[in-house]
Structure 1
Amino acid sequence: MKQPGPARSSSGQDSGAPLVAVRRIDRAPRLPPVLADRPRLLALLDQAAPLTLLRAPAGFGKTTLVAQWAARQDPESLTVAWFRLRRGARDASSFWAGLLEVLADSGVPVPPRESWPLEVYPLTGLVERALLEAPTPVALVVDGFDRASDPEADVMLADIARHVPALRVIATLRSHRWFGAPRHLGIDLTVVGACDLRLTTDETADLMAAAGLTTSASLAPALREEAGGWPEPTRAVVLRLRDEPIDGAAAVAAVVGRVAADYLRDRLLAENCDGKRMRVALLTSLPDHFTVATAELLTDEQELKPRIDELVSDGLLVAERHGDNWVYRWPAAARRALMAELERSLPEQLAELHTRLAHWYLAADEPARALRHAVHSQDWSLIVHVIDSAWMLLGTEHPDELYEAFRATPLEAVATSSRALALRDIQLRVPDTYLRRIMVELPESSTELTALGSRPDGAEVIDRGLPVLVALRLRGAFQAAQTYGERLRQVTEAARAAHPGAVVPLYPSVQLEVGLAHLFAGDLSPAQRSMRLAHVHSGDDAVGYVEPVAAAHLALTYAVAGDLPLTRKWLARYDAAPQAPRPMLPRVGIIAGTAVLLEALDRLDVDRARAVEQAVESWQTDAQELWPFLVGTQGLLAVHLGTSADVLDRLEQWRQGAPSLDHRRSTAGAYLAAVEASLLLSLGRGNLARSVLEGPYREHPALRPGRARLALLSGDDEAALRLTADVGWAAAGSPRHRLEMLVVRAVAADRLGDRRIALDALGRAVSIARATGAVRPFTTVPRAELGALAASCPAAADFLARDPLASAPDLFPAAVTLIDVTEREQDVLNGLAEGLTTQQLADRAVVSYNTVRTQQRSLYKKLGTSDRAEAISRARAWGLLPLRREPLSDLPSGPSRSNRET
């Protein structure tokens, strides 16, 4: 070891006292038993900068982190001298004298204590000399530097570090008084601030695991969010959770509220906030985040930025840069504590403060925040004013805020505005008469509609009428929505020509909603026309939702029609469009996903269809007008998978909670009826399939292919051929339905001996399928008969022999039995299924015993049996009686709904 030489003062004069070594004393604090592994911060301390500052308020784990780092060091290669400062030092020299004591206790040779001078500068010279003569490099930890008695201790210590190459200084401190301008110290340094010291989610999980909590992975994100990542309060909560286990992340907030909020309010804020800073802290806790301008609005004070910057520097506030502005927020636990204190100390000012914030946020184009504060102020007219001013943005991007506002606001106040009332109708789905009474009345004649749009207030008429149109559609009043929408469209066209500047932002939304009204009313052609116009003009959309929504719905309309090229075109445009607002994503995702699923089924790509179905089912939405398309498409997939019976059960349960679809031209209702008939037909239940096909939607073009197919499979080839020969229907039918009819026509004509018609129909079907990629219709008729017919048509034979068609099974039985029973025979059959005797049947029908016996014999003959049990079994199999099925307990009782609607 190098022999100690004479000590010198800072002036270079010999002190005359030899350096001596004393016994080593470890002054580092004891580590707490529960610790998080923090490799990212330990790596910062490992960087060996001459000066390292850990600057943060109490409770941020500064001392603990340095102690963790010190415990990892090899004492043979690095001496860690721990200097913990205490309150009460009387003079500047006591800091340096205490430092010399720590160095001596750490094994660094220092002069004997009786030789130490009383003045500061000779003492600093002794410290520097001792460090220069240290046998190993020294890491000097000054814990609690804020308590240093020498006002120049930071400058002097940095100067020593600069001149002693083997020295590292690590200082923990809370304020910015010390090392205030480190860039002027002329030394490399590492700064670890409050933001660095906050626990990450992974570190929070490590801390919980160290405490033996098996729920660390699931609860850590919630704990990190609630406690703001502040180490000491988080550790306190973790220890409480160890002693008092909780169920689920939702309960974390309550624990943090009991443990951490008191800590933050009583210790952290009390130590770091004087009266003025505390007032700023209390008032700025009211908004979820704020700017300097917002703080000045709330406090009626100016030039608050320095005070806010101090709170950020102290680690109490979180600062985030949003564009050119700084935005500040309190961690969740701190904010709750501050708000509780604000409500306790200034209850009479809260309403006025919320009103200020509401006006402020509305002027700043943040209507959702404005609405929240307006609700807290309980100013009903202000709530309606906010909704009136930004109803479209609130409806598309902030429906939850709207929902809460409508729950809080009296209906009489809402009813003063047609916009607000329509939005309430959309959000709450509670039928009442208010909407009809206040909805914008639109005249019937085109002349009057044009005149209305040309008026100076034409844009105002449109803006008030648009939410009414949406409300009518969502109520299921499709015909009323269609009529109202067409009138509103004419007003919009006239207003756009008269004063485009005011109307252009509304134009895409009007066209989209008119298109949706037509779609759900059953008029696909005008629906597609309006939605294409909406998409073309989506660049003018004021809110930014029209482009993806229009593209998704257009893809669905073409997929339902079986026009695969246009389906792919609009799906590509949907993929290229900006993402829809988050609250609308479930609805738009279901629409686009259903279109993809239908296209995959038309191509017989069943594996892809199953994958898409799983993705679609992951979306949750309360948009009830979508459920027929979703369930119907799942039904088509079930026919391929052999799970038709399960989907029929689901269909019945979903119907119980769905809006009525009895409008005869309803696209959704007809689509669902056609799918239901296919499900029944795939199970061989021809009679039930026939009852659906002959039901309310009998004349809808979507059901014609099912009727023709049922006629073919039940052996009525003439009826099948007659149905496929209807030229008027073909003009109204969709591409998929026309293709389905062509293959039915081919088989029916071939059975009837007309090879010319049969080959012509088959050839046309193959040409269409090759051009579009739609091959599923060929699986809806007996393939063996198509193959025999194709022997005379090489192109058709080659097409049928290629995959995926060649390996796909037929979707329906080759033959289906239809039983025609009279009304009386059906009554007898129902009674037999109930277990009634023949006499009981006669008594119930008020007829003779022999009359019932006659009807029973006739029924048995039609069913091909003379046994009661077998008759009932066959009746169930053929659809004359419902199947006995246990309810599927794991299925929902209705369409997916949000919790708030439930």
Structure 2
Amino acid sequence: MTVEPTPASPVWERILASLDPGSSLLVVIAPRGSGRLRLARSWVGTEGRVVDYSGMPTGTTPARAVAEVLAEHQKHPDIRVAAVLPPSPEAYGLAQRPDAQMVGASDLFLTVSEVELVSAQFRCRPTAATVPYEAGTVPERSPEQLWRLTGGWLYGVETLLSNPAAETQVASSLGRAIAPWVSRLDPTGFLSEAAFLPFFTDSMLQAFYAHRADRVPGTAQLAEACLIVPAANGEWIMPDLARRELRASLQRRSPERAEQLDELAVAALARVSEPGAAVMAAIERRSWRGLWAVLSEHWVDLFMTNPRMLRYAAQKMPARIARGELFTATLKILASVDEDRMNLPLPTIEPNYADDRTAQNLRKLTQQYSRRPSSFAVTAGLVELSFLRLQGHYEESGRCGARLRRVVSQAAAANRVRPVLAGMAELHSGLSLHVADRLIEAANAYESAMLWAASVDNAFIQANAAANLALVHAQSGNTQLARNWADRADSFLARTAWGTKMVARGAHLARVYIAWHELDRQKMDAGLALLPPEPDNDEFWPLHAELLTMRERFFGSADAGMHRINNLRSTRTYAAHSPMAVRALQHSEVVARVALDALDVPRKPAAGSLELRNVQAYLSLQSGNVDAALVILHRTLSSSDGGWRTRSLARNLQLLASAFPGPLGSDALETVRENYSAGGELIDLLWLWQDPQNQDGLSAVLGLTDEEIGRLASFEAPRRGRAEGRVTLTEREIQVLAGLRLGRTRADMARERHVSVNTVKAQTSSLYRKLGATTRNEALRKAKHWGY
């Protein structure tokens, strides 16, 4: 049972303040359910007349209705007349008369405070009673909630106060009340499609309508059509019940059109708001095509701001839309998203690219898409190279990175890729090339990522690319460039939101490398303190392990460094096979092993390991084998590989070899000075400084400070005894050594020499003791070093 309407309009006091009390004609143009008649009665009082043509009786035209209102007004000039009319040019023309004033629809909609007043009056009335409904099915609504449901339509507010379960009835009534107002402004029903939008601004309407309408409606036009009302904060809202009815009506008439409008609304939201809001709107509406469109266009924006939202959206996608190897690989990659980084799991099964079905299918897909380079082709390439790294196919990922860079270039030439996506593709291509130890190509990719990101001022990509550029140059020994890029990375990191720890890792590692080149222990320790105590799953973990081992070699325990390397190789069996890991761990191992035993260095380091060749050359010099040292150094300086620092060390070692065993001459010292002034670091002097006879000359010609001399003195380079310290073996021990070389057993050697086995055993023990060996192979290797 509906309550009796209150005598006066709830908005009367507010409207009265804006009306001219001397006027005798009031024109009310408002939809039904808005309290238009109640307002008219409040205006005329007990003596005036209300002329109601709002329903437009059959055969009555707007012009005739206006004529009859004027006749009534002229017939009773001394009393107030209120005319309630439907929207028409004639009605608005009547309201423009000098003796008339108008109340429109927007004037009659209740504010939140007026809804609260109506609610209080309703509860206080003794006759108030609600239609029975199941208890608990409809929660008690606040005035704010009632206002948002109804938009302040008086009929809706009073009906829901009387019967809280009457939402369907109210929604239907509001839909019918709005229809004439919409059709007057837009007979095709174009305006009603706005019911699919989540909020209303002129920019949102532009994004929603612009590509399919010559004249885009604005918020003023929607308000005039009674579709939206203003909130107290200035925002426009569409009453929830009206929205529900309009959407349901279109859904009944054309389900396909309704689905398309949901997709268009999501796309518009993505253009004017942040993509996460569009994703949530698409999921809430179950607009899967809209969600797919948003993810296809804006996944890179989500990845840089809220990758967990990206993972959530991907997981929500129905299988009928998200199927195939590409989406499966994407989900596997996104599964590694953590609170502030990508926590990529290390491969746990032996990588076999030829037998990896997903990897092979991804390759076929990217080949197919790359025939017409576009944003989708770039995205597919990004998924492929990331999946390859995840699976441990590191070298293939590097090759994929090189291919993706070509696709980006072709797509950009055809204007088919957004700059932010191109920048992200170049960044991850660089990362794949970096892990594949293709440093020059990695640096080129990172620089290209910087240029793309700078064109749209994207701080995330610029920070990541700059940090990784700092690391590439630090690894190569280009310390000045590394410093510059690390500083630039800091400026961009201040503007990144998600993933700052992950993005900053390259810059942190670069600064530790720089400190190592500077022989600055304090800076090394400060830089390492910013990193985890031990290598985590970050893709630069091998470089972290290398720096930790270098630090322990000189300031800690070389045994601890060896233990770490062995542990990493055993626990990260497949990850340790990446080209970056092979190179970094081998260098770390040699540094640690030489610290424990100066003879314990591989004779044939891994191809391209110029750092280890320099170690070999230095140790050869220490043992007096100048020719061997010069041969190694010639190979190093003739190679096209190696960075500035590696080649600088090799040049200085050449000078040391040329002067051996004496001190560096004046010409050699001048060459050292020229090299050092061209961007040298203290580490270039370390091996020269180890010989006391060079220290005065180096200090004088380079103008070293006491602090720099102290740093040089605190580091001890690997040392091997000089030739004059050669181990002396007896004739019998040399005979045992010859037997060991030929693979003879102690019994064999005893028979050949006609001595007892115990005698051979004693001579073997003596030989091992002098050589400092514990096994046959070790004894043979060390004896060979001493020329036996």
Partner of 1:776: 683
Partner of 2:720: 815
Code of the residue aligned with 1:702 in structure 2: it is: E
How many angstroms apart in 2 are the aligned matches of 1:380 and 1:392?
19
Shift of 1:751: 3.0
SS of 1:522's partner is coil
Partner of 1:434: 358
- How does 1:546-561 map onto structure 2 within 5 Å? 546-561=461-476
Describe the superposition over 1:186-208 as per-residue Cα deviations: whole angstroms up to 9, x where unpaired.
xxxxxxxxxxxxxxxxxxxxxxx
SS of 1:812's partner is coil
Please tell me whether the aligned partners of residues 708 and 719 of structure 1 are also in contact (alpha carbons under 8 angstroms).
yes
How many angstroms apart in 2 are the aligned matches of 1:612 and 1:373?
44
How many angstroms apart in 2 are the aligned matches of 1:854 and 1:612?
57
How many angstroms apart in 2 are the aligned matches of 1:178 and 1:385?
41
Code of the residue aligned with 1:718 in structure 2: it is: D
Partner of 1:701: 610
How many angstroms apart in 1 are the aligned matches of 2:628 and 2:514?
30
Please tell me whether the aligned partners of residues 397 and 582 of structure 1 are also in contact (alpha carbons under 8 angstroms).
yes
- Give the direction of change, closer, same or farther, for the CA distance of 1:380–1:292 in structure 2 (3 Å limit): closer
The answer to whether the aligner puts 1:676 opposite 2:585 as a matched pair is: no
Q: 1:515 aligns with which of 405, 411, 430?
A: 430
How many angstroms apart in 1 are the aligned matches of 2:690 and 2:325?
65
The answer to whether the aligner puts 1:395 opposite 2:317 as a matched pair is: no
How many angstroms apart in 2 are the aligned matches of 1:357 and 1:851?
97
- Give the direction of change, closer, same or farther, for the CA distance of 1:473–1:496 in structure 2 (3 Å limit): same
Describe the superposition over 1:239-298 as per-residue Cα deviations: whole angstroms up to 9, x where unpaired.
xxxxxxxxxxxxxxxxxxxxxxxxxxx9xx85845984697999xxxxxxx97559xx9x
Shift of 1:593: 0.8
How many angstroms apart in 2 are the aligned matches of 1:395 and 1:465?
16
- Give the direction of change, closer, same or farther, for the CA distance of 1:385–1:713 in structure 2 (3 Å limit): farther
- Give the direction of change, closer, same or farther, for the CA distance of 1:302–1:402 in structure 2 (3 Å limit): farther
The answer to whether the aligner puts 1:611 opposite 2:526 as a matched pair is: yes
How many angstroms apart in 1 are the aligned matches of 2:554 and 2:416?
53
Q: 2:708 aligns with which of 797, 803, 823?
A: 803
Report how many residues are paired. 527
Please tell me whether the aligned partners of residues 481 and 517 of structure 1 are also in contact (alpha carbons under 8 angstroms).
yes
Partner of 1:718: 627
- Give the direction of change, closer, same or farther, for the CA distance of 1:749–1:410 in structure 2 (3 Å limit): farther
How many angstroms apart in 2 are the aligned matches of 1:608 and 1:459?
43
How many angstroms apart in 1 are the aligned matches of 2:268 and 2:627?
71
Partner of 2:674: 767
Please tell me whether the aligned partners of residues 520 and 667 of structure 1 are also in contact (alpha carbons under 8 angstroms).
yes
The answer to whether the aligner puts 1:571 opposite 2:486 as a matched pair is: yes
Shift of 1:359: 7.9
Partner of 2:409: 493
Please tell me whether the aligned partners of residues 768 and 779 of structure 2 are also in contact (alpha carbons under 8 angstroms).
no
How many angstroms apart in 2 are the aligned matches of 1:369 and 1:855?
84
- How does 1:400-799 map onto structure 2 within 5 Å? 400-405=308-313, 414-416=322-324, 418=326, 421-422=329-330, 424-425=332-333, 427-428=335-336, 433-439=357-363, 441=365, 455=372, 458-497=374-413, 499-500=414-415, 502=417, 504-540=419-455, 544-577=459-492, 579=494, 581-617=496-532, 622-623=537-538, 625-658=539-572, 660=574, 666-682=579-595, 684-686=596-598, 688=600, 690-691=601-602, 694=604, 697-713=606-622, 716-726=625-635, 728-752=637-661, 762-779=669-686, 781=687, 783-785=689-691, 787-789=692-694, 795-796=700-701, 798-799=703-704
Which range moves more in the overlay, 354-363 or 584-593?
354-363
- Give the direction of change, closer, same or farther, for the CA distance of 1:390–1:496 in structure 2 (3 Å limit): closer
Structure 2: runs of 5 or more not aligned:
1-111, 118-135, 152-163, 165-196, 202-207, 209-224, 238-257, 337-343, 348-355, 748-754, 783-788
SS of 1:500's partner is coil
Code of the residue aligned with 1:525 in structure 2: it is: I
SS of 1:733's partner is coil
- How does 1:334-353 map onto structure 2 within 5 Å? none
- Give the direction of change, closer, same or farther, for the CA distance of 1:491–1:852 in structure 2 (3 Å limit): farther
Please tell me whether the aligned partners of residues 262 and 285 of structure 2 are also in contact (alpha carbons under 8 angstroms).
no
Describe the superposition over 1:771-798 as per-residue Cα deviations: whole angstroms up to 9, x where unpaired.
325102333x37351x413556775474
Shift of 1:855: 8.5
- Give the direction of change, closer, same or farther, for the CA distance of 1:357–1:759 in structure 2 (3 Å limit): farther
How many angstroms apart in 2 are the aligned matches of 1:614 and 1:743?
32
Shift of 1:558: 0.8
Describe the superposition over 1:705-735 as per-residue Cα deviations: whole angstroms up to 9, x where unpaired.
2222343445544322321232654542211
Cα RMSD, aligned residues only: 5.4
- Give the direction of change, closer, same or farther, for the CA distance of 1:545–1:178 in structure 2 (3 Å limit): closer
- Give the direction of change, closer, same or farther, for the CA distance of 1:790–1:702 in structure 2 (3 Å limit): closer
Please tell me whether the aligned partners of residues 418 and 439 of structure 1 are also in contact (alpha carbons under 8 angstroms).
no
TM-score (norm 1): 0.48
How many angstroms apart in 2 are the aligned matches of 1:355 and 1:716?
80
Shift of 1:567: 1.2
How many angstroms apart in 2 are the aligned matches of 1:555 and 1:805?
27
Describe the superposition over 1:488-546 as per-residue Cα deviations: whole angstroms up to 9, x where unpaired.
3223323333x236465543333333333322222222222232232233223596532
Please tell me whether the aligned partners of residues 589 and 616 of structure 1 are also in contact (alpha carbons under 8 angstroms).
no
SS of 2:324's partner is coil
How many angstroms apart in 2 are the aligned matches of 1:543 and 1:712?
51
Code of the residue aligned with 1:394 in structure 2: it is: L
How many angstroms apart in 1 are the aligned matches of 2:509 and 2:550?
11
SS of 1:387's partner is helix
Describe the superposition over 1:390-412 as per-residue Cα deviations: whole angstroms up to 9, x where unpaired.
33223333222344455666888
How many angstroms apart in 2 are the aligned matches of 1:275 and 1:726?
80
- Give the direction of change, closer, same or farther, for the CA distance of 1:547–1:280 in structure 2 (3 Å limit): farther
Partner of 1:225: none
Describe the superposition over 1:637-657 as per-residue Cα deviations: whole angstroms up to 9, x where unpaired.
333422433343334444445
Shift of 1:592: 0.5
Code of the residue aligned with 1:685 in structure 2: it is: D
Structure 1: runs of 5 or more not aligned:
1-174, 181-265, 283-289, 310-318, 328-352, 829-838, 843-849, 881-902
How many angstroms apart in 1 are the aligned matches of 2:580 and 2:551?
19
Code of the residue aligned with 1:486 in structure 2: it is: A
Please tell me whether the aligned partners of residues 586 and 620 of structure 1 are also in contact (alpha carbons under 8 angstroms).
no
Q: Percent of pairs identical after alignment?
A: 19
TM-score (norm 2): 0.55
How many angstroms apart in 2 are the aligned matches of 1:720 and 1:659?
34
